[in-house]
Amino acid sequence: MNRRNSSRQNYQCVPESAERIILNVGGIKYETYRSTLTAYPSTLLGTMFQERNRALLHPVNGNEYFIDRDSKLFRYILQFYRRNKIVWPEPGSDYVSREELEEEFDYFQIPISYFSNDSNELPTQPVKISPITKIVSKKLDDFISVLQHSIIEVCATLSETNLQRFSAILTLTFAHENLISNGITSVVLKPKNDHLTKMLLKSLLPFGKLGYFLLDQYGEEIGKHLHKNIPEVTWELNHKIYGPTEKFYDIILNINYQFNRDDVLINSSLNFKE
């Protein structure tokens, strides 16, 4: 008798994290459980409905949340949370296209790149990353940031005298860690500017001993990233070996800017609606 009562009590006790919620998407209401969404904490909805963010939410009628997105596309989003897989529309469908869905998955931070051709399933639990790995990853990000900052400093200086067009070549040389003490051997800027060159060298010194290794491992990816963020810059990476320990990496950054009236206007304070 006691066992039966205990079982009934456990069944009736619904965890707070699994409470039922209503998602009003573009006027269409979808009903699900909070736990269905929080099972994927790296996604937008998974983060949004975490217990720690409860105070930031403003439900209507106690458990209804409005989301200003396309309701017909959201059906596929919710299917992912319920089935742990992406269900694509039939090819040639007039109702919804794959391109629309890919944009929607991107908005909801569902990483479709994780899905292989053989399986549409995404592991529920995110991969745990070591704190030490995070330290190294941050070093890489900081290195990329200082390279990008160097480019911006050069452009800011050149734009002081000419807004119509300007160009420059910035060459950074990093030596193998065992060759010299500070790692970075030279910063060369054309057109010449001694004051700016000294500033750039100072900002790059903290990465002198790390630069060679990071370029050896991620040079191609860094170049693509910089060009994507700053299209006016092209990246060339040269590896020079003169002996067992005499190894260098040259980064050659070609900067070519041409004034575009519309682009400048769009990014200025003049671009506003009455």
Is residue 194, in this structure, part of any structural domain at all? yes
Is residue 227, in this structure, part of any structural domain at all? yes
Is residue 108, in this structure, part of any structural domain at all? yes
Residues 242 and 187 reside in one and the same domain:
yes
Q: Could you give the count of Cα atoms lying within 13 Å of 121 in the half-sphere of its Cβ?
A: 6
Residues 82 and 184 reside in one and the same domain:
no
Residues 169 and 216 reside in one and the same domain:
yes
Q: Which two tokens stand for residue 209?
A: 């001993």
Specify the number of domains making up the chain. Answer: 2
Distance CA 254, CA 141 (A): 21
- pLDDT score recorded for residue 3: 40
Residues 233 and 137 reside in one and the same domain:
yes
Range of the domain at 227: 131-265
Is residue 195, in this structure, part of any structural domain at all? yes
Question: What average pLDDT does the segment 224-253 reach?
Answer: 91
Residues 94 and 186 reside in one and the same domain:
no
Highest mean predicted confidence (pLDDT) among 78-82, 90-94, 147-151, 174-178: 147-151
Residues 87 and 163 reside in one and the same domain:
no
Is residue 200, in this structure, part of any structural domain at all? yes
Picking from 256, 217, 257, the residue whose alpha carbon sits closest to that of residue 237 is: 217
The strand pair at 247-258 and 233-241 is best described as: antiparallel
Is residue 123, in this structure, part of any structural domain at all? no
- pLDDT score recorded for residue 148: 94
Residues 178 and 101 reside in one and the same domain:
no
Residues 108 and 186 reside in one and the same domain:
no
Residues 195 and 247 reside in one and the same domain:
yes
Residues 163 and 103 reside in one and the same domain:
no
CATH number of the domain residue 96 falls in: 3.30.710.10
Picking from 179, 116, 151, 110, the residue whose alpha carbon sits closest to that of residue 254 is: 151
pLDDT digits (tens, 9 = 90+) for 138-181: 999 999 999 999 999 999 999 999 999 999 999 999 988 655 55
Q: Can you give 143-184 as a three-state secondary structure string?
A: HHHHHHHHHHHHHHHHCCCCCCEEEEEEEEEEECCCCCCCCE
- pLDDT score recorded for residue 270: 85
Is residue 274, in this structure, part of any structural domain at all? no
Rounded to the nearest integer, the mean pLDDT of the chain is 82
Is residue 1, in this structure, part of any structural domain at all? no
Q: Is the overall model pTM greater than 0.75, yes or no?
A: no
